Amino acid sequence: MGNLFNRKEERCFLSGILAGVTTARKNNMSGVIISIINNKGGTGKTTTTCNLAHILGKNDKNVLVIDNDSQCNSSKILLDGIDYTNTMYNLIKDAIQVSDCIHFTKYSNVSCLPNDEMVSALEIFLAKAFPNSLYLYREKIREYAKDNYDIILVDNPPTLGLIVAMSLYMSDFVIVPNDAGSKFSLEGLIKAISFINDIREKANPDLKLLRLLITKVDRRTIASTAILQQIKKTFGEDEVFETTIPINTAFQQAELSDKTLCRFRPNATGAKAYKELSRELLIILDKVWPQKITLQAL
Ligand SMILES: Nc1ncnc2c1ncn2[C@@H]1O[C@H](COP(=O)(O)OP(=O)(O)OP(=O)(O)O)[C@@H](O)[C@H]1O
Ligand SMILES: [Mg+2]
């Protein structure tokens, strides 16, 4: 980390962030930005992001996936076999346009702003530039993304740190996937909801929870059904997608070949569930998103 920047570069980086926040922006946007978050690992954030992007793109929506996780899992699935140079690392560190960091993927109508493992090394500098760094994605990504895409999905790491706050500050909505197989789901959920409320109060008053999503549901087990019921009881039925994602081993097989399940095995129960979820998502957006994208149901 010591040789990542020299002092002069570090000063430029920090002053770049500071300068960015004073730029006035016009507000003629149309696309909707949805962050997928949960500080608990393995709840299905990446799986949800990539499968939704694939299905929505197939149905003529212009989709951008922003991989905000330096594990780079979405980038690997969507850009497997594609050569690309600029990533989130360049966007954060250099004076570079977001359009130069976005790449076409293997999936029709789906583009991706990939991440890079090196981004984790930048976090210390982002922390030094706090609170200005909170505005970085909003300033560098939001307007371009909204002007050029119908739906922007942001895959986030399993934390509730600054990088996730930056994603929430540029977003219109949040989806929180929860693992119905884990008794710790509810605890994670409560933390995630309170984090969203915090960002709404302090930085982005327009941010809304779109829905909670229940993943890895095994209807044969009492635990899975109990967790599902408990989440609905605690947060209210209206806050939870009606569609749930079943537990399905085909997801891991798809992941091994760096494909979405919807491409790897479109007839798998998990793939069908994500198709149903895309339909429900478009119906909800049609009601709650005033700017009406091309949101006719699938
Ligand atoms: N419904 C499901 N049934 C079975 N396996 C699943 C399901 N959804 C996701 N998986 C598998 O669970 C693992 C974690 O999923 P995923 O990577 O989407 O979670 P994540 O929330 O993005 O994880 P992280 O917090 O590490 O980013 C992966 O191996 C994935 O293939
Ligand atoms: Mg992930």
Residue nearest to atom 9 of ligand 1 (CA): 44
- Alpha helices by DSSP H, listed for the chain, are 7-20, 45-58, 73-79, 88-93, 119-128, 136-137, 143-148, 162-170, 185-202, 222-235, 250-256, 261-264, 269-288
Could you tell which of 35, 37, 39, 47 is best to mutate to test the pocket of ligand 1, judged by most ligand atoms within 8 Å of the CB? 47
Which of these, 251, 249, 247, lies nearest to 262 by C-alpha position? 251
CA pair distance 56, 52, nearest whole angstrom: 6
CA dist., res. 102 & res. 230, Å (int): 40
pLDDT at site 30: 83
Determine the pLDDT at residue 21.
Answer: 45
43 Cα nearest atom in ligand 1: 21
Q: For residue 41, how far is its CA from the centre of ligand 1 (angstroms)?
A: 8
Quote the pLDDT of residue 244: 97
Ligand nearest to the CA of 175: 1
Q: Is 156 in the pocket of ligand 1 (CB under 6 A)?
A: no
Q: Which residues of 120-130 are buried (b: 16+ CB within 10 A; e: fewer)?
A: bebbebbeebe
113's tokens:
């702003």
User: Which domains does the chain carry?
Assistant: 7-288 (3.40.50.300)
| Ligand 1 lined by 179 (C-beta under 6 Å) | no
Answer yes or no: is the C-beta of 181 below 6 A from any ligand 1 atom. Answer: no
pLDDT for the residue 147: 95
Residue 296 near ligand 1, beta carbon < 6 Å? no
> Is the alpha carbon torsion for 228, 231, 232, 238 positive or negative?
negative
pTM of the model: 0.92
37 lines ligand 1 (CB under 6 A): no
- List all residues 6 or more positions away from 98 whose beta carbon is below 8 Å from its beta carbon: 91, 113, 140, 141, 144, 145
Q: What is the pLDDT of residue 14?
A: 64
46 Cβ inside 6 Å of ligand 1:
yes
Q: What is the pLDDT along the chain (298 residues), one digit of tens a residue?
A: 445 566 666 665 666 565 544 333 334 448 999 999 999 999 999 999 999 999 999 999 999 999 999 999 999 999 999 999 999 999 999 989 999 999 999 999 999 999 999 999 999 999 999 999 999 999 999 999 999 999 999 999 999 999 999 999 999 999 999 999 887 888 889 999 999 999 999 989 999 999 999 999 998 888 888 898 999 999 999 999 999 999 999 999 999 999 999 999 999 999 999 999 999 999 999 999 876 555 544 5
**Torsion-angle region of 268 (φ positive above 0: left; ψ -120 to 50: alpha; else: beta):** beta
Ligand nearest to the CA of 41: 1
The residue nearest atom 14 of ligand 1, judged by CA position, is 42
Q: Indicate whether residue 44 lines ligand 1 (CB < 6 A).
A: yes
Ligand with minimal distance to 43 CA: 1
